Structure 1
Amino acid sequence: MDYNNIKINADTEQEFIDLLKNTSPSDILSLFFNTQSQRAAIYTRFNKYVHTYITVVIFINVKIYLLQCNSGFKQFLVDNNEEEYQKLCTSVSTMISKISKEIIHIENSLKDIKPNWSAIINQLRELEKAKFLLTSQQQILKTEIHSNTSTKKDEEGNEYSMPTTGCYQEHIDQCNQQLTVCNQQLAQCINEINEKLEELQYELQDDESEVTTPTTSTSTCNHDHH
């Protein structure tokens, strides 16, 4: 089954719900993985604005996604075009919201027939919410650090730097500390998401094995799922 085409054809929310009613549990879970991959692709786009090289500060053990050129966030740091940047963020938020609704419908469709799968998907939704909030917090902190450390120009075009002592430096240090904690929390959240996805993959493999493997006696199929 081509799940990419399913996403294109299910233009309305009701059509998507009807589609789930006529789909087997294993196919629904496969559809979930497809939907999740689309959400990951959107996050990659969002991360393109967030995880960009800022020469003022470098944090270790943070994966930087630069699949395309550093437009978006980097451009915002250069020209401070907040209006254009907000449009980009709104677009990403809208797409994530749409996919989140579809995942809720997938979760609900599995609640009675595969409650364990539904519960894991629910946990994933909560983790994705946390990931989105942490990513937003990370972005705010990076912007704040950059705005207080980058070279600026006065009305006559003369460059000047922000003070590096006193309350300014204290504020930057606090932002750096908060960003370090945020990065750690985000990395942990991503690890938990990957663990839950792997758990679902095993669940799907077990389910498909039970369907395709013939059983000659009750002793040959003794799966104990908790």
Structure 2
Amino acid sequence: MHDTISLYPNPIVGADVVGYAIKHSTPLPEVLYQHQKASEDFCEKEQLPAFMMVNELQAQFMLFLAKIQKAKRILEIGTFTGYSALAWAEAVKTQPGGEVVCLDLENKASDFAKEAFEKAGYGDIVKFIGGDAMETIKSLSGTFDIIFIDANKDGYISYLDLTLSLNLLAPGGLIMADNALFKGLPANKKDNPEKNNPRWIDIAAEMDKFNQWVNERVDLENVLLPAFDGIHFLRRKVLKH
């Protein structure tokens, strides 16, 4: 699970605040807790980075947000072990025709995710499409109430541009781009303890490029929240007639 960026006096207080928030938010369904533990065990066994999963509080937030949005169809670009997809599935399962479409490469993590969807009883709700997202996006039809981007960071601009050009976002729909403030580096490299990690610096540069690109789009309105690892929310502007 990725570390939450703290806005509090020190990391100890920040961690306690997150724990307090989790405890005082509606608990996730048991299936998500089971999948979280199974995902962590799987990542340890396969030597995969578990921090690529959203954390527990973010899963609570996403489920809550999707219910507020009354989302019926959700597109997820980047699925990893399927933890976030299960949260989306929990939110849309009561909607007639509720569906979560997941795009990711075929690999051990996606195989694990697909098995988890079936095991959780969501095989008829969650649809996994394997392959390069820049190609699989073109195969989609209809519109989505939420589009969640959490894949390779150098692809964010291309994914967003393509989904918008294909009109895949429903009227009033919401786009969420995860890790937009990756480890705080887009905002501050000088005082950041992660500044000596070349890989993190490269990823942060991609997120900075994406954030600036979004901010320059005249057809979008957006808000970048310093929550979790940074979430950039976007929606199309409502045109006045």
Do they superpose with TM above 0.5?
A: no
> Which structure is higher in helix share?
1
Q: TM-score range by the shorter chain?
A: under 0.3
Structure with max Cα Rg: 1
* Structure holding more strand per residue: 2
